Amino acid sequence: MSHPVTEFLLQRNSFARLTSPAPEGELLDTLFQTALRAPDHAMLRPWRYLVIEGDALKRLGDLFASSALNADPDLSPAQQEKCRKMPTRAPMIIVAIASTQENPKVPEIEQIVSVGVGVGYLLVALQAEGFGGMWRTGPLAYNPEVKKGLGLTAEEHIAGFLYVGTPEGKPKAVPTHDVNTYVKKWN
């Protein structure tokens, strides 16, 4: 039997179906504190997070739909509607932003990896507290109009839209992996 933390990590799951409530108040702050503990070369803190809830989710849907249409004027009304509805899949979306900066010692990839670790910690901590999350991106995460609408600078990247809430329905089975497929000794 491994340590409970190890056992818990082995059960880490993404939850596609999320409903209210989402975490709030002090608990939400504590969850973010876990993300802020991500390893961080030269302590650049190359991250920031936006919390989107309630009516702001509707505005995010409008931003998704109009930005998708501008990127592809042939987008069908049904596809536009699909984009508009995306943010309604959870009661909260956390936008994880890589606020990368030029640094002689820390290339951009290291800074982006740091943000990803933070999102991973958030996912684990959410699940530990009885909530759940799903890390999503898709073309809208790289759409310049979406980035502008969310207030990102030209240098910033959306590392992910973390959909957050209370898991609904039965969780999917967690896959097991053959470690040897991915891990080899190097001599």
Ligand X SMILES: Cc1cc2nc3c(=O)[nH]c(=O)nc-3n(C[C@H](O)[C@H](O)[C@H](O)COP(=O)(O)O)c2cc1C
Residues at the interface with ligand X (CB under 6 A): 13-14, 134-138, 160
Please identify, using beta-carbon distances, which residue of 116 and 149 lies nearer to ligand X: 116
Cβ distance 30 to 87 under 8 Å? Answer: no
Q: Which residue number is nearest to ligand X in terms of Cβ?
A: 14
- The position carrying tokens 């982006």 is 112
Q: What is the three-class DSSP state of 162?
A: strand
Please identify, using beta-carbon distances, which residue of 97 and 134 lies nearer to ligand X: 134
In angstroms, rounded to a whole number, what is the distance separating the alpha carbons of residues 51 and 140?
17
Please identify, using beta-carbon distances, which residue of 10 and 42 lies nearer to ligand X: 10
Cβ distance 49 to 121 under 8 Å? Answer: no
For the CB of residue 104, give the shortest distance to ligand X in the complex, in Å. Answer: 27
Nearest Cα neighbor of 68 from 157, 16, 142 is: 142
For the CB of residue 120, give the shortest distance to ligand X in the complex, in Å. Answer: 8
For the CB of residue 10, give the shortest distance to ligand X in the complex, in Å. Answer: 11
- The position carrying tokens 């818990």 is 8
Please identify, using beta-carbon distances, which residue of 15 and 31 lies nearer to ligand X: 15
For the CB of residue 181, give the shortest distance to ligand X in the complex, in Å. Answer: 16
